[in-house]
Amino acid sequence: MCNLYSSVRSQDEIRRTFAVDRDETGNLPPLPGIFPDQMAPVIHAAGGERVLTMMRWGFPPPPKVGSQPVTNVRNVASPYWRPWLKPAHRCLVPVTSWTKPGRLHKRLAFVFFAVT
């Protein structure tokens, strides 16, 4: 995934699309810019239900790597990540668009991708 995405669908639409059983988010506004270390909506399993809740985006870094949260797991064979890749630790992220860095006229530009 990238380091910038949006979640701008209505709260009702998220609940319907993901068959949410319980919503713990309160009043969820559209979020046009979500960055690492920010709170964002996710759907996770709890007690046999799909729960819509807010979670911080990122994962504490492995020892000796640094202090920034990890937002991408690229080496799924690593012993460090193996326990966290099990279904019990997964969630759904209601993304409406995401970015990848690119270049426009030799300058850094973000290219947005969206599912319609």
Q: What are the pLDDT digits (tens) for 95-106?
A: 999 998 888 888
Contact 100, 108 (CB under 8 A): no
- pLDDT in the model for residue 84: 87
- pLDDT in the model for residue 29: 96
Q: Distance between alpha carbon 67 and the CA centroid of its chain, in Å?
A: 19
- pLDDT in the model for residue 103: 80
Q: Specify the number of domains making up the chain.
A: 1
Domain that holds residue 100: 5-114
Contact 34, 8 (CB under 8 A): no
Q: What is the pLDDT of residues 24-82, one digit of tens each?
A: 999 999 999 999 999 999 999 999 999 999 999 988 777 776 677 788 888 888 888 88
Cα separation of 25 and 15, whole Å? 11
pLDDT band at 23; cut points 50, 70, 90: very high
- pLDDT in the model for residue 61: 74
**CATH value at residue 21:** 3.90.1680.20
CA trace torsion 80, 48, 40, 72 (10° rounding): 20
- pLDDT in the model for residue 1: 56
